[in-house]
Amino acid sequence: MYLLWTVAAAGFAVDQITKAIAAVVVEGHEPRHALGGALTFTAFRNPGAAGSFAPRATLVFTLLAIVVLVLIARVAPSVRSTGWAAGLGLIFAGAGGNLADRVFRTPGFGRGAVLDFIQFGDSGIFNLADQCVTAGALIVLIQTFRGVPLRTVVASPPGSRPLEQ
């Protein structure tokens, strides 16, 4: 469980720090290129989801992020798998990072736009919170396909149901 919260806190912190830097160094300036033009730093305020999907549904994405955070917080005490803890921690970090933008950035509570600023090649523009969610979801899928249980199952007396912790 400590791993989940450590990953979540670290991911959230790195996301918020990089967004704060991007808001000063990238936003309002010409795009900056690195790695021979393969990497571009350019600011984009995204009110929707990935790829600017549903830009008028900012409040819906705000509420969805809150639900995700609550669900992960509820299940966190029973997570005993390192993989599940890392995956859920990354999802928590990403959802929390983008939720912070939606809550605290203009135009106001629940309607703020997420600051995206990283672009590889011709891909969409994203931020580190987006990458945390993507990596976390990938880890969760791997854990699921490997059959790794989210919770530890405690042996119970014969004839009774196993207890989840």
The 10 Å Cβ neighbour count of residue 160 is 7
Using CA atoms, how far residue 155 sits from 129, 135, 163, in Å, is 38, 32, 7
Asked if residues 136 and 90 have their Cβ atoms less than 8 Å apart, the reply is: yes
Q: Which of 15, 101, 116, 122 is catalytic?
A: 116
- Is-catalytic flag, 116? yes
C-alpha dihedral (4, 140, 79, 68), degrees to nearest 10:
70
- Is-catalytic flag, 15? no
Nearest by Cα to 113 from 25, 11, 27: 27
Which residues lie below 8 Å from residue 54, measured CB to CB, with a gap of 6+? 48, 60, 61
Q: How far apart are CA 122 and CA 89, in angstroms?
A: 29
The 10 Å Cβ neighbour count of residue 30 is 7
Catalytic sites, residue numbers: 116, 130
